[in-house]
Amino acid sequence: MSLGKLRQALASYVEVTEMPNIVVSQRQAHEVSRLLLDEEAVLIRPERPFTFASGIVSPIYCDLRLLMRSPKGRRRVSELLAGGVKALCGRDEPDAVAGVATAGIPWAAWVGDVLHKPVAYVRDTPKGHGRGQQVEGGLRLAQTAVVVEDLTSTGASAITAVEGLRQIGVRADYVLSVFTYGSPRADRNFGNAWVRAASLCTAATVLDVAVASERITPEQRDLVRHWLQTGPMSG
């Protein structure tokens, strides 16, 4: 029986309802939070909220691509992600690092370089031309990969990448991101996909660091916390 069919069989007996997204290290979470705020990769603006392409109105906005402009910052985050791979996977060392297209691709490349691992990336759908591949990078049947992305909201994009890898016979049971909103929906989605997920920092940590550094007020933090707990990503 294939691994995919085994998972399906087990799921018919046991519903995995939640697998909490863990933080690799609280100390490192504070370090990454400061870096994100310094580079304005996370903006907190409850009085003038942002409107996403989906129509969601949010008091917090994340654009982790801004980290790419900082050689020192991206190098440090890449090192922490590489350490996060080791902490998350433990003895189950992956054969390769796979990035979620497109924002996860540079992080996968940098982490693969630190770990001396092959790198691949996964599209949200297979190409409609050429070889029609969803996964690029030459991964082979029975190899293992850890999926890397920049941020986790509901976990949907990472799970799509995991499923794409599993479709070609690559075992993908771990997802690591730089930042997570800490959404209960993501926890459930990862659990139901049989995925163990972790992040370097959470929205909650970023908010606390922003208050401690007087970038926002405690009242602004509480407004964002309320949105995270009751808004569209809460459940």
Conformational region of residue 40, where left means phi above 0, alpha means psi within -120 to 50, and beta covers everything else:
left
8 Å CB contact between 173 and 196: yes
- 89-to-60, 98, 143, 175, 196 alpha-carbon distances in Å: 30, 14, 14, 10, 9
User: Cβ contacts of residue 176 below 8 Å, gap of 6+?
Assistant: 81, 84, 85, 88, 146, 147, 148, 149, 197, 198, 199
Q: Characterize 129-139 residue by residue with b for buried, 16 or more Cβ atoms within 10 angstroms of its Cβ, and e for exposed.
A: eeeeebbbbeb
- pLDDT at position 56 is 86
List the end-to-end C-alpha distance of the chain, in Å, as a whole number: 34
Helix (H, G, I), strand (E, B) or coil at 59: coil
- pLDDT at position 8 is 47
Residue ranges in the chain whose pLDDT is less than 50: 1, 6-17
- pLDDT at position 135 is 98
Does the pTM of the predicted model rise above 0.85? Answer: yes
Q: How far is Cα 223 from Cα 154, in angstroms, rounded to an integer?
A: 20
pLDDT tens digits for 138-182?
A: 999 999 999 999 999 999 999 999 999 999 999 999 999 999 999
Helix (H, G, I), strand (E, B) or coil at 60: strand
Strands 119-122 and 135-136: antiparallel
- 103-to-2, 3, 42, 66, 154 alpha-carbon distances in Å: 31, 28, 15, 11, 16
- 205: which 2 tokens? 């940590």
Backbone angles phi and psi of 50, in degrees to 5: -95, 150
